[in-house]
Amino acid sequence: MEPGETPQQALIREIIEELDTEIKVGELIDTVEYDYPTFHLSMDCFWAEVKAGHLELKEAEAAKWLTKDQLDSVTWLPADILLIDQIRKCMK
């Protein structure tokens, strides 16, 4: 986050920068706290929906949409694993 920015504003900015897409930020899913070997991660995770854009990958090497049944088909980073069950429960 940049100085003076809320977590929601930071997410909107990052998605524009990394995916060339505008989003509407919804409710907080959870805040993940995780200690990696070289740093501590504190990450607010929100539901979001696409408002406009074409989801162009600008920073990442790969991405894909997953259905509820496909969530376990990906090797998640340790901090991400903490959210998968919560996301699965809320997906239709």
Q: Domain count of the chain?
A: 1
Let me know if residue 50 belongs to a domain: yes
pLDDT in tens, 35-80: 999 999 999 999 999 999 888 888 777 788 889 899 999 999 888 8
pLDDT of residue 79: 86
Q: Tell me the two tokens of residue 58.
A: 């600008």
- Is it the case that residue 16 has pLDDT exceeding 80? yes
What is the mean predicted confidence (pLDDT) over 9-20?
94
Let me know if residue 2 belongs to a domain: no
Domain of 17, CATH number, reads 3.90.79.10
Q: Domain span at residue 33?
A: 7-90
Give the pTM: 0.82
- Residue 80: closest CA among 91, 88, 11: 88
Let me know if residue 75 belongs to a domain: yes
Residue 3 pLDDT grade (very low, low, confident, very high; cuts 50, 70, 90): very high
